[in-house]
Amino acid sequence: MADGQPRKLCFVCMGNICRSPLAAAVFRHKAAQRGVGNQFIIDSAGTGGWHAGEPPDPRVRRVAAAHGVPMSGVARQVRNNDFNDFDLLLCMDESNRDHLLEMGGPPNKVRLLLACDPRSNCREVPDPYYGGQEGFETVYHLVDSACAALLEELLKA
């Protein structure tokens, strides 16, 4: 980083047990593989707090493990100070982005994750919570591609 400070990224979904912890784990893993993990501080949060304190969903942990991506941590809800503490808040869908903007999130910091990926043919990472394991695999591939593109973008900045 130009100023020597790590970039602070927070990945955001609704409950913080599926999509956002997976995105945080995938980005952290990709940065570590590139030897640039120390250039980033990575977290995840949910716009809702009903899963606060819970580990990631077992189905998302299985998908991450199958792709060699370590996962850890527990769910938490977005806090107002996150808007000051993070350089970017990367939302999984428009509903969560709109929620952050309504909370007062700065529009220049609040982005859709898939908007980072020029190869993506969709705007939102679908919520796999109420579906089967195949939905988690789909989410993994969307997040994996978007995190790769985001990492490239941030390393060039």
Neighbouring-strand partners of residue 110:
89
User: Does the annotation mark 19 as catalytic?
Assistant: yes
Residues in contact with 56: Cβ distance below 8 Å, sequence separation at least 6, in sequence order:
17, 18, 21, 22, 64, 71, 73, 75
Nearest C-alpha neighbor of 8 from the set 44, 32, 34, 35:
44
User: Does the annotation mark 97 as catalytic?
Assistant: no
DSSP symbols for 65-97: HHTT--------B--TTHHHH-SEEEESSHHHH
The single residue of 43, 57, 117, 127 carrying the catalytic annotation is: 127
User: Does the annotation mark 127 as catalytic?
Assistant: yes
Residues in contact with 104: Cβ distance below 8 Å, sequence separation at least 6, in sequence order:
80, 83
The single residue of 13, 18, 91, 147 carrying the catalytic annotation is: 13
How far is it, in rounded angstroms, from Cα 51 to Cα 15?
6
The single residue of 18, 19, 76, 93 carrying the catalytic annotation is: 19
Active-site residue list: 13, 19, 127
